[in-house]
Amino acid sequence: MRFLKVLLLVPLLVSTGFGTIVEQIGSYNNWVQDADWTPLTALNDAQDGMAYGEEDFVGDALDPAFYWADNGSYLFFRMRVYTATADIDTFNGTHTILIDLDNYLYGTGFGTDSASSQIDFALTWDSKNAPEEHGFEMSVAGVNATTWSKTKLDDIDGITTKGDNDINGAGRTTDGYIRSVDGQATANFGDTTFVDFAISWNYLTNYTDLAPGQTWDIAAATIENAQDHAFLTGDIAGGASPASALSSGWTTVEAIPEPATLVLIAIAGCGGLAVRRLFL
């Protein structure tokens, strides 16, 4: 069965009534408001008792684990992790949003995808290494194995330092941002922390084959206490585990936001949920 689809540095600490915001990568002032986030409910996940709670996805119907949003200039993802407080030193591993671009296989291009749920691209935050070496990176398929635990990512630039075509490479500072927001109360997990990603459409359309108007499958994973080239052996969202098949844990979309500059229309069909972007 084909999975339903979705279309698609110096930290600053700010204490608010809704938790402490830590600007983990870059400084961005136009994050979408809470009301503009759309839950990705298929990625809800139980608390798994991992040694590093900040790498353990949690969320349920009352307090979803994942969300996404789009303001026309940036695409946003939000993940909920099992830690009550977070500062710049809390995170020491890897968090990644994984993308399977429809009818595409990384390395060969469009019209060559012979299998579903193969990782093509990933938005990856490596907090194990120094931000100037890794940080927020554009990852690509390294090893697409049959299970998550045998799967690896690679950098789009193929080097161990920040390359020109990587996120925030070549002196650019506005390609992407990451922040954490702790103290997020839930009904069943206590206080949790949000990890928010922002990636510019300008970067995606200039340095990858990702663009508005496409159809994507999305999944998420962490790597416990390790950098982004290690196997995906941490948490896998959507109730999957590292031992699960790579075809498991991909997302379903149930609600689509309508930013001021565009309208997104969900169309259900036997092959999945296609989402079309109509610019106004």
For residue range 115-168, list pLDDT tens digits in order. Answer: 667 899 999 999 998 776 679 999 998 988 999 999 999 999 888 778 899 999
**What are the backbone dihedrals phi and psi of residue 54, each rounded to the nearest 5 degrees, phi first?**
-70, -10
How many domains does the chain divide into? 1
pLDDT at 242: 97
Q: Which two tokens stand for residue 186?
A: 């839930």
Q: Which two tokens stand for residue 247?
A: 């075809």
Q: Which two tokens stand for residue 100?
A: 């399977």
pLDDT tens profile 18-42:
799 999 999 999 999 999 999 999 9
Percent of the chain with pLDDT over 70: 81
In eight-state DSSP terms, residue 248 is S
The Cα–Cα gap between 202 and 80 comes to: 26
- Residue with the bigger pLDDT between 68 and 272: it is 68
Q: What integer is the mean pLDDT of 171-197?
A: 97
> Minimum mean pLDDT among 5-14, 76-85, 144-153, 218-227: which range?
5-14
- 173 within some domain: yes
Amino acid in position 98: L
> Minimum mean pLDDT among 109-118, 202-211, 213-222: which range?
109-118
- 68 within some domain: yes
- 162 within some domain: yes
DSSP codes, 166-211? STT-TT--SSEEEEEEEEEE-SSS-EEEEEEEEEEHHHHHHHSS--
Domain residues for the domain of 91 are 6-279
Query: Which ranges in the chain belong to alpha helices (H)?
Result: 201-207
- 1 within some domain: no
Q: CB under 8 Å to 158, separation ≥6 — which residues?
A: none
Q: CB under 8 Å to 34, separation ≥6 — which residues?
A: none
pLDDT at 50: 95
pLDDT at 37: 95
Cβ–Cβ < 8 Å for 221, 96: yes
- 216 within some domain: yes
Cβ neighbours around 172 below 10 Å, total: 15
Predicted confidence band of residue 102 (pLDDT cuts 50, 70, 90):
confident
- 160 within some domain: yes
Checking if the pLDDT of 250 tops 90, the result is yes
Checking if the pLDDT of 180 tops 50, the result is yes
User: HSE-up of 233 (CA within 13 Å, CB side)?
Assistant: 10
Checking if the pLDDT of 172 tops 90, the result is yes
Give the three-state DSSP class for 84. coil
In eight-state DSSP terms, residue 50 is -
- 141 within some domain: yes
**Considering the entire predicted model, what is its pTM?**
0.86
Checking if the pLDDT of 112 tops 90, the result is no
Question: Where is 272: in which H helix or E strand?
Answer: strand 272-279
